[in-house]
Amino acid sequence: MKILAIDIGAGTEDILLYDKSKTIENCIKMVLPCPSLVFSSKVRRITQLGKDILIEGEIIGGGAFSSALKAHLARGYRVLMSRETAYTIRNDLEEVRQLGIEIFDEESEPIHFSGETLKINEVNIQELRRFFTNFGEEFSDVEVVSIAVQDHGIPPKGLSNRKFRFEEIRKVLKRDRKLENLAFIEDETPSYFLRMRSAVKSAKRQLPEAKVVVMDTCPAAILGCLEDPLVKAVDPVLAINVGNAHTMATIVSRGKVEGIMEHHTRLLNPAKIERFLKDFANGKLTDDKIFIDGGHGLFLLSDPPKFSEIGIVAATGPNRKLLSKTKLKVHYANPAGDVMMTGPVGLIEAVKKKLRIKGK
């Protein structure tokens, strides 16, 4: 069997085509620019041409793409987006309109538009199929497509999306403290996670026979960290994903989550992250302190071990070198021998555990 794992971050899209008949070192892997970067460059080209832009397609990660559209608006050009794609910018469409973006319904494209049309998509299975086929790799036996994207969800009015995202993670893990429970199989994906549901729909359209599993990027990376051979041999573990947007730290003991802390990477420096991690493991850090500092929060599901009792501090993510400037002894996780495959390996483990697939 084959599992196509696609981890879509704010900088790269990391891909692993897992084939059960091969050692993981012999499986195909790729690191590409993420869709947000690819489409942001197309927006900048249209800006240089001095044309208005109409965008339709699917929900993708905002990031660089959103910044490019704001720069386009600042130059005095129009931006029109279909209702679905507008959720790329913000999960509140009124906030999207306030930026100056015009939103139209997919059933009736706007009149009086002359400019460039851009169709955006995040899950590029057809392009991958064409590329892999050139190297003799078939997709007919891909049984599962597993995709990681970051999704804040749509919170109730008046509730911070930071609070909402983090509370939903806590609710899931409170019922069962295994990280794979943060992965969703197709229709079980909550309705408020629009980007995840868009990824499911896109994957099913392109590879209808395959089952689709989606997961948030941070937990996927943490799960991948735990598959590093050195990390697997130690307990308890403090695993940290220092991403481009978010930093998530998780205490795991005997395969179960004891607590999670999530912050925004841009707000952290070496001294602060070292202090937060130690206080987190010592049970001295509060949810309010992280939230007031601009992060998402913190929760504990059991009494944490003291920091001195942590067996290993394992780190991954594109900004993991932030930890090299601390006094912490850190192991940089590299499951499958490649730090860039931490997310895809985590996705594959989530699939195996969710779908009860035996063997390696």
Which residues sit opposite 18 in a β-bridge?
3
| pTM for this model (two decimals) | 0.94
Q: What percent of the chain has pLDDT over 70?
A: 99
111 pLDDT higher than 80: no
- 8 A C-beta contact, residue 83 and residue 92: no
360 pLDDT higher than 70: no
259 pLDDT higher than 70: yes
Average pLDDT over residues 161-183: 94
pLDDT tens for 319-348 read: 999 999 999 999 999 998 899 999 999 999
pLDDT tens for 27-44 read: 999 999 999 999 999 999
Strands of 237-242's sheet in order across: 297-300, 256-264, 246-253, 237-242, 312-316, 330-332
Q: Which two tokens stand for residue 180?
A: 């794979």
Average pLDDT over residues 76-100: 95
pLDDT tens for 135-157 read: 989 888 999 999 999 998 998 88
136 or 76: which carries more pLDDT confidence?
76
What pLDDT band is residue 106 in, cutting at 50, 70 and 90? confident
- 8 A C-beta contact, residue 107 and residue 45: no
User: CA-to-CA distance for 117 and 85, rounded, in angstroms?
Assistant: 13
Average pLDDT over residues 208-216: 97
What pLDDT band is residue 161 in, cutting at 50, 70 and 90? confident
Average pLDDT over residues 236-262: 96
pLDDT value for 358: 58
- 8 A C-beta contact, residue 166 and residue 297: yes
**End-to-end C-alpha distance for the chain, whole angstroms:** 11
1 or 120: which carries more pLDDT confidence?
120
Distance of CA 226 to the CA centre of its chain: 17
pLDDT value for 293: 96
Ranges of H-type helices in the chain: 35-49, 64-74, 83-86, 93-98, 125-133, 161-175, 194-206, 217-225, 229-232, 270-281, 287-292, 342-354
pLDDT tens for 114-129 read: 999 999 999 999 999 9
Average pLDDT over residues 80-92: 94
Q: Which two tokens stand for residue 132?
A: 């892999």
